[in-house]
Amino acid sequence: MTVAPFLPILLLAGGAVLAFTVGRAVRRGGDASAATAVVVLGASFVSFLLLGGSSGSTPAYAPAGEVTLRVDGLGIFLGLVGTGLGLAVALYSFAYMRHERERPTYNALLLLLIAGIAGIALAGDLFNLYVFFELMAVASYALVAFHRERAEAVEAGMKYVIISGTGSAIALLGIGFVYLGAGTLDLASLSTSALPRDLALLAAGLLVVGFGVKAAVVPMHTWLPDAHAAAPSGISAMLSGIVIQSGLLAMVRALAIFGVGPSSAFSYGLLLAFLAVLTMTVGNLIAMHQRDIKRLLAYSSIAQMGYILLGLGIGLEYGIAIALVGGLFHILNHALMKGGAFLAAGVLQDTYGTRDLDKLRGAGRRIPAAGLTFALFALGLAGVPPTAGFLSKLFIATGAVQAGGALGVFFVVALIANSVLSLAYYVPALTGLLARNGTRDSPRASWLLTGPVIAFAVLVLLLGVWPDPALRLIEDAARTLLGGAQT
C-alpha cells in the first residue's frame, strides 16, 4: 500500500499534541501521556516500515510542485533507528520518570524530538532539512534542561542552547550561500548542478561546522559532556543514540550536493576523515579520567562519532561502499550500545542516586540486568567480537584499507589505536561496577527499566553474529548516498 511520505511526521507531531492534552486532561495523566507516546512511536515505526516497503521508486511529496519530502534508503534507515530507539526510551521513561511532575510535557517534547528526526530523514530540500533540524534541536534543548530545579541541568541546557544556536546559524548561512549560487534548494537538483568553486568551498565549510556542532565534531563538541550527563537518562540515550547522528546525517546529505566519490568537486570527504581522527582521539583521551559514569559515556559518544565520521568520510571521498556501510551500521550499533549503556546507567542512578563510579563500585554485580548488559555494551563499543560493534568497525577499517596508500594505513592505525585506547576507560569502569563488594542487597529494578536494556543487549549480540537483515537496509542507504559514484 502506498503511504504518503508525510505520514510519520504527521503521526509524531500530532501525537505530541495528543500526548500533552491527554496528559493534562486525564487523571493519572503522566501514565496516560507516556502510554500515548509509546503507541504513537509504535505506529510511526510501522509507518517507516511501510514507507520502506514502497521505496522501490523514490516517492516524493510535492505539494504545489515544490518537492518538500523524499523517501530514500537513508531516510528509512534514520527513521527506523530514530523511532525504534524512541520507542524503547518511551517504555523506559514510563518507569524512570514516574516520580516527575511534568510527564505530559516530557512525552510531548520527546515526540517532537523524534518528529524532527523523522523530518531530517525525509527532507527533500535544504530548507526542510533545516526546519526539521531546528525542531529537533529546540525539543532537545528543553529536554536537556528538563530537571530545571538542578543547577547542573540548567547550566548544561544554557550551554547547549548557545553553542547549538551558533551552529544552527552558521549552517543557515551555509545554506544561504548554496541558494545564492544555485538558485534552488532541492537536494536532487542540487546534486546535478555545479556551484561556482569559491562559493562551494565556503558553503561546504559553513555546513561542516554548522552541522558539526550538533554532531559533536571536535573542536565544536564542548557542549556534549554537560548535556548528556545532566539530561534524564532516557534523553541521554536519545541524544547519544540518534540526535547527534541525525546532525551528522544532515551534514552528509547537505554535503552530498557537491558530488560523491571520485567525481566530487573537492575533497570534503578527506576533511571529514581527518576531523574524525581528531574527534575520536580527543574523545578517548578525555574519557580516560572521568569518574562520572554518564560523563564517561558522553565522551565515549564523541569518540564513537569519530568512528562513524571516519567511515562516512572515506566512503564519500573515495566512493567506497563498505566504508559507508560500516559508518551507517555503526550508527545503528551505537544507538543500541550507547543507548543501552545510558539506560543501564540510568537504572543504577535511579537505584543508588549517584553517577559517581567510585560510589557505584559493585553496583553492577548487585543489579546484574544493568551491570552485565553494561559490560556487554562497553565491550561492544570497544569493538570486541562477537558484538555488533566489532563488525561495524571492521567494515570501516576494510573501507580504509581499500582506500589504500599511506592515508589508508593511517586511518586504519588510528581506528585500531583508538579502539585499544578506549579499553583504557571501559575496562576500569567495568571492573569497578562488577567488583565484589561487601553488601548483599539486591535491589529490584522495574522490568520496564531493565526490559529495554536487555532487549538492546540481545540485539547487539544478535547483530554481531547475524547482521544480514540490518545490512540489507543499510546497503540500501549507502547506495542512496553514493548515487552513481560507487567503487
Partner 1 sequence: MIAAPPFLIFLVGAPVVLLARGRARRVGLVVLAGLALALTLLLPEGVGWTVRFMEYDLVLLRADRLSLFTGYVFALITFLGVLYAAAFARPWLHLYALLYAGTSLGAVFAGDVVTLLIFWEGMAITSTLLVFEHGGAAVGAGYRYLLFHVLGGALLAGGLALQVVESGSLLLGPVSGSWPSFLTALGAGVNVGFIPLHTWLPDTYPRPHIAASVFLSVYTTKAGVYLLARTSPAVEAIALMGGAMAVYGVVFALAQNDMRKLLSYHIVSQVGYMVAGVGLGTVEGINGGMAHVFNHILYKALLFMAVGAVIHATGQHVMDRLGGLGRRMPVTAVTFWIAALSISGVPGFNGYVSKGMVIAASEDLLPLRVLLEIASFGTFLSFLKLGYFVFLREGDTPGRDPPWPMQSAQVGTAALCVAIGAYPALLFRILPAASAYDPWTPTHLLEAGLVLAGAAATFVTVGRVVLAPHEPRVRDADVAYEAAGRALVRFTQGLARGFAVVYDGFVAAVSQAGRSARRLQTGDLNWNVAGVALGILLVLLWLLWEGAA
Q: Contact region for partner 1 (CB under 8 A) — 7-15, 220-228, 243-251, 475-483?
A: 220-228
Phi-psi region for residue 275, left (φ > 0), alpha (ψ -120 to 50) or beta?
A: alpha
Phi-psi region for residue 259, left (φ > 0), alpha (ψ -120 to 50) or beta?
A: left
x/- contact string, 264-303, with partner 1 (CB under 8 A)?
--xxx-xx--xx------x--xxxxx--------------
Nearest by Cα to 134 from 180, 174, 167, 95: 167
Q: Contact region for partner 1 (CB under 8 A) — 126-134, 221-229, 392-400, 431-439?
A: 221-229
Considering only residues 22 through 51, tell me which ones interact with partner 1, judged by CB under 8 A.
none
| Angstrom distances, CA of residue 426 to CA of 76, 207, 299, 375 | 32, 33, 12, 9
Strand partners, 292: 356
Considering only residues 130 through 189, tell me which ones interact with partner 1, judged by CB under 8 A.
158-159, 162-163, 166-167, 170
Q: Contact region for partner 1 (CB under 8 A) — 78-86, 218-226, 334-342, 473-481?
A: 218-226
Close Cβ partners of 138 (under 8 Å, ≥ 6 residues apart): none
Closer Cβ to partner 1, 110 or 316, answer by number: 316
Closer Cβ to partner 1, 92 or 426, answer by number: 426
Closer Cβ to partner 1, 266 or 447, answer by number: 266
C-alpha radius of gyration, the chain, whole number = 21
Contact between 201 and partner 1 (CB under 8 A)? yes
Q: Find the shortest distance in angstroms from Cβ 55 to partner 1.
A: 33
| Angstrom distances, CA of residue 202 to CA of 181, 328, 428 | 11, 27, 44
Contact between 222 and partner 1 (CB under 8 A)? yes
Phi-psi region for residue 195, left (φ > 0), alpha (ψ -120 to 50) or beta?
A: beta
CA dihedral (227, 228, 230, 232) positive or negative: positive
Close Cβ partners of 275 (under 8 Å, ≥ 6 residues apart): 208, 212, 217, 218, 309, 313
Contact between 219 and partner 1 (CB under 8 A)? yes
Near partner 1 by CB under 8 A: residue from 42, 59, 176, 205 = 205
Closer Cβ to partner 1, 7 or 229, answer by number: 229
Contact call for residues 216 and 243 (beta carbons, < 8 A) = no
Contact between 217 and partner 1 (CB under 8 A)? yes
Q: Find the shortest distance in angstroms from Cβ 408 to partner 1.
A: 18
- Compute how many residues bind partner 1; rule: CB under 8 A: 40
| Angstrom distances, CA of residue 65 to CA of 60, 62, 68, 186 | 10, 5, 9, 12
Residue ranges that bind partner 1, judged by CB under 8 A: 158-159, 162-163, 166-167, 170, 197-198, 201-202, 204-206, 208-209, 212-213, 217, 219-223, 225, 266-268, 270-271, 274-275, 282, 285-289, 421, 424
